[in-house]
Amino acid sequence: MTQFLQYAISGLATGSIYALVALGLALIYRSTRILNFAHGDITTAGTFFAFTLLGLNLHWGLAFILALLFGSALAIVFYFSVLVPAQRREATQLGQIILTLGLGLILQGLVSYFGGTVPQSFPFPLSDTKIYRIGSVVISQLSLGTFGIGLFASLLFYLLVQKTRLGLAMRATSENLPAAQTMGIPTRSILALSWGLAALLGVLAGLFLAPALLLDPFFMLEPFLKGFAAAILGGLNSLPGAIVGGLILGVAESLAGGFVSIAFKNTFAFLIIILVLLVRPEGLLGTEFKERV
């Protein structure tokens, strides 16, 4: 039982990061029906930006805030300078998805050029070696902080979308764009804000993942794929589903790695996803998307 709790708590910490990545992907998909394949690379660019600022002896709090804003700005600039012109020329959804893939490749090259390809340790105020004991369960300071910030950010974002006028405008825009425009909602600005918020969540995840991993231009590749899988598991058009999917995926991975085999860790998690999607193709909390014509 102690081992089960140990692995479950460890999985929840990892799953909360997957949830942040999945939230960003689900938010953009809900708003624009676009799968953002540059999400992980925007996160990497923001994390490297924080790393650069920390190297200049900037206080970590200010460096992290500027990194979050930097990632958001990247996404918003991409939306206005690339996606909006493409949409005006009636680009297909597949074409717009390819544009996000192109942005990801450009960012990979820029990060590799300016940040280098040698893995580096990321300085962080929370320690991965300092541990706390909760009964017979041991948890590191970094894991505890990661779990706390992941749940707090997810809850705050969910409340923003569900309980504020801004969130109402975001939901109206994602549900019916022409009707939202008729009601006077500035849909372009709302969609740009959605891209910025999604990038902010991704960079936040990257900042807490970097200390546990070595920082390099591709350190977000696997977390991005796991976040994508979590979003599909919970329902790609459901924000609560993204959170639930991330937590389930994190716990499933940890339990499989602890009780079965580390080599079977990823396989087991994706087996769960396949089984769920065979029963509910729209995901655990997702709903079938119906195009209004």
How far is Cα 104 from Cα 39, in angstroms, rounded to an integer? 8
Candidates 1, 7, 9, 24; CA nearest to 243 is 24
Q: Within 10 Å of residue 144's Cβ, how many Cβ atoms?
A: 17
Q: How far is CA 170 from the centre of its chain?
A: 18
**Per-residue pLDDT tens digits of the chain, which is 293 residues long:** 778 888 888 889 899 999 999 999 999 998 888 999 999 999 999 999 999 999 999 999 999 999 999 999 999 999 999 999 999 998 898 999 999 999 999 999 999 999 888 889 999 988 888 888 877 788 889 989 999 999 899 889 988 988 899 989 988 988 888 888 888 889 999 999 999 999 999 999 999 999 988 899 999 998 998 999 899 888 888 888 999 999 999 998 888 888 777 777 777 767 777 888 788 888 888 776 555 44
Question: Which segments of the chain does DSSP mark as H helices, in order?
Answer: 2-32, 39-55, 60-78, 84-88, 93-115, 141-163, 165-175, 177-182, 187-209, 221-234, 239-259, 265-279
- SS3 of residue 12 by DSSP: helix
Candidates 199, 221, 175, 136; CA nearest to 32 is 175
- What are the structural domains of the chain? 2-279 (1.10.3470)
